[in-house]
Chain A
Amino acid sequence: MTDSKLKRNALPLTFAAVAATGVLSSSPALAATSTTYKGAVAQQSRWGPIQVTITVRNKKITNVKAAVSPDNPRSTFIESQALPQLKQEVLQAQNVTINTVSGASDTSGGYVASLQSAVKKAVKAKALTTKALL
C-alpha cells in the first residue's frame, strides 16, 4: 500500500535529494566550474525576506539553498496550542456512495512543465545538460 509513496516523480525527487545534501564545500579546484544562480528575493515570507540560490557545477545542480534572516528561524513543530482546534482521527478507507470525488489536481503537472522549461533555459545558457535532471 505504501508503494504510492515510492511512485514520486523523478524530477522533483532530484531536487529533494539535492536539497538534502546540504552545502558542498567549494574547493579551489572545482570553483572554476561552479556557478551560483540567485532567485528573486521573496518579501512575502513568514521569516522575512528570503532568497533561493542554486549552485550549478559540472552541468549539475549541486545545491539548492534558501537564505533567511537568522533571528527568525523556521518553526519545525506544529504549535501545540493549535492542535486542539483540529479534530484528529486515524485514516480510514471508506467504500460508500458518493456523487463525485475530489483528488489531486492535474494542472499541477504545470509545475513539472515549468521546471522543464527552466531546465531548457539553463541548457540554452550551457550551464546544464538535460541529463542533470533525468
Chain B
Amino acid sequence: MTAPPPVIYGPLDRVEHIMGMPIGIEIHDPEIDPQTLDAAFAWFRWVDATFSTYKADSEISRLNRGELTLADAHPEVRAVLARCQELSEETEGYFDIRVPFLRGVIDPSGLVKGWSVERAGQILAEAGAHNYAINAGGDIIVRGHPPGADIWRIGIKHPFEHDYVAAVVGATNGAVATSATYERGQHIFNPHTGGLPTDVLSVSITGPDLGTADAYATAVFAMGQDGPTWVATLTDYEAMIILDTRTVLTTAGFSQV
C-alpha cells in the first residue's frame, strides 16, 4: 500500500460578517485543511452568541439583566471580564466596560473583538499555519509574511481621505488596532468627565496582543490631550495618534515602512 498523495490546499481566503463587522481570514501556507477556516469562523460565531450585547440570550445580556451570576458564567466570560478589569487599571480607568448612565450594565466588546481574533489565530496555528492574517473590522493580527514579500504591509486608514492611508505599518508577527471617529461618529466616551474627546481623530496601537492593543487604542482615544503622554510610557506597545490639527504623533518604535 502506498500512502495517498498529500493534499495541497491554499491559499485560503474567506470573509464572513459576524459580530456586526466583516471578519477576513487569509492563510498562505500549503496543506492547510480548508476546515480550519470553518473552525475559526465557528469560534467567532460562538463568541458572538456568548458576548453580544445585541443578542438577548447571550451570557453578557443575561449578566446585565441579573439572570446570570458571574460565578455561573462560562469560564471564557469570566476570563475576559477579569482581563477587562486589569485593562481598566492599566489605563487609569479610561478603558471602561461599564455603560455610561446605566449602573451595573457592561459591554466588554472593546476587548472581546481583539481577544477573539487572537484565539482564532491560535486555531490556525494549531492547524499548522505560519503565514496568515486576520482582519476583524479593521483590527488585525499578522503572522509570517504574505506571498512574495517579507513582511505584511498594514495601512492605517486616513481619517478624511477614504481611499488613502495615513501610514503603513510593517510586521511579521503582531497586532494593529485603531480607534477613530470617521466611521461611526464620536463614539468613545470619556468615563471621567462625561464628555467626548474632540482633539484626537485616530489612535493606532501596535503590539504583541490584539485585545490589549484594542483596549489601549480605545483608552488613548478617550484620554484626548493626555493620550500622547500616556502612550510614551508604554513598553511593549507602540502608538500613532492623529490629532485634529493634522499632526501625527508616533512613538519611537512605531514601525512604519
When chains A and B are docked, how far (Å) is the Cα of A47 from the Cα of B190? 13
**Given A1-B161, A91-B248, CB of A104 within 8 Å of CB of B181:** yes
B194 in contact with A19 (CB, 8 Å): yes
A4, A98, A111: the one within 8 Å of B153 (CB): A98
Q: For residue A80, which residue of chain B has the nearest CB?
A: B229
Residues from chain A with a CB closer than 8 A to the CB of B166 are 91-94
B220 in the interface (beta carbon within 8 A): no
Question: Which range holds the interface residue count of chain B?
Answer: 35 or more
A8, A11, A19, A113: the one within 8 Å of B54 (CB): A113
B102 in contact with A118 (CB, 8 Å): yes
List residues of B whose CB falls within 8 A of some A CB: 19-21, 24, 53-54, 88-89, 92-93, 96, 98-105, 107, 109-110, 112-113, 133, 135, 137-140, 142, 146, 149, 152-161, 163-169, 176-189, 191-196, 198, 202, 204, 214, 218, 225-226, 228-229, 231-232, 241-242, 244, 246-252, 254
A-B contact pairs, 9 of them (CB 8 A): A12-B186, A86-B250, A87-B250, A88-B247, A89-B247, A92-B166, A100-B152, A100-B155, A102-B204
Given contacts A16-B198, A45-B192, A118-B101, 7 further A-B contacts (CB under 8 A): A2-B160, A16-B196, A46-B92, A54-B101, A102-B177, A103-B178, A108-B218
